[in-house]
C-alpha cells in the first residue's frame, strides 16, 4: 500500500508542474489564481498521501494549514478583484 501512496504523490507532483506552467502562461489573473489554488489543493493531497505512506502525524497538521491558506488566498483574491456590490457600481452609488 505504501508504494501506491508514493506513486499517487508522484503523479500529483507532476500535476503541480502542469499547474505551474499555467501560472506562467495564463492570460488572466483568474487563470493564474485558479492554477495557484490547484497547486494548494494538490499540496494538501500529497501531504495526506505521504502521511498514509509514512504515518508521520505532523503531515496532517501541515496539510490542514495548507488547506486553510489556500482558502484564504482565494477569498483574498476574490475580494480584491471583484466589487462587493456590482449593482452599486452601475448606478454610481457606493456603500
Instruction: Give the residue extent of every domain in the chain.
Output: 2-82
Tell me the pTM: 0.77
27: which DSSP letter? S
Mean pLDDT across 61-89: 84
95, pLDDT greater than 60: no
Determine the CATH number of domain 2-82. 1.10.287
Percent pLDDT > 90 in the chain is: 44
Residue 27 banded pLDDT, cuts 50, 70, 90 = confident
Which of these ranges, 19-23, 58-62, 79-83, has the smallest mean pLDDT?
79-83
d(CA 10, CA 20): 15
Which of these ranges, 9-18, 19-28, 60-69, has the smallest mean pLDDT?
19-28
The pLDDT, as a whole number, for residue 89 is 56
Q: Supply the mean pLDDT for the chain.
A: 86
**Whose grid coordinates read 456603500?**
95
CB-count exposure of residue 34 (10 Å: 0-12, 13-18, 19+): middle
Amino acid at each position: 500500500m505504501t508504494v501506491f501512496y508514493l506513486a499517487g504523490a508522484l503523479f500529483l507532483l507532476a500535476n503541480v508542474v502542469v499547474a505551474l506552467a499555467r501560472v506562467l502562461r495564463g492570460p488572466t489573473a483568474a487563470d493564474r489564481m485558479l492554477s495557484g489554488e490547484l497547486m494548494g489543493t494538490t499540496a494538501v493531497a500529497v501531504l495526506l498521501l505521504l502521511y498514509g505512506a509514512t504515518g508521520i502525524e505532523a503531515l496532517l497538521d501541515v496539510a490542514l494549514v495548507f488547506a486553510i491558506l489556500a482558502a484564504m488566498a482565494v477569498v483574498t483574491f476574490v475580494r480584491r478583484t471583484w466589487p462587493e456590490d456590482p449593482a452599486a457600481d452601475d448606478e454610481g452609488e457606493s456603500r
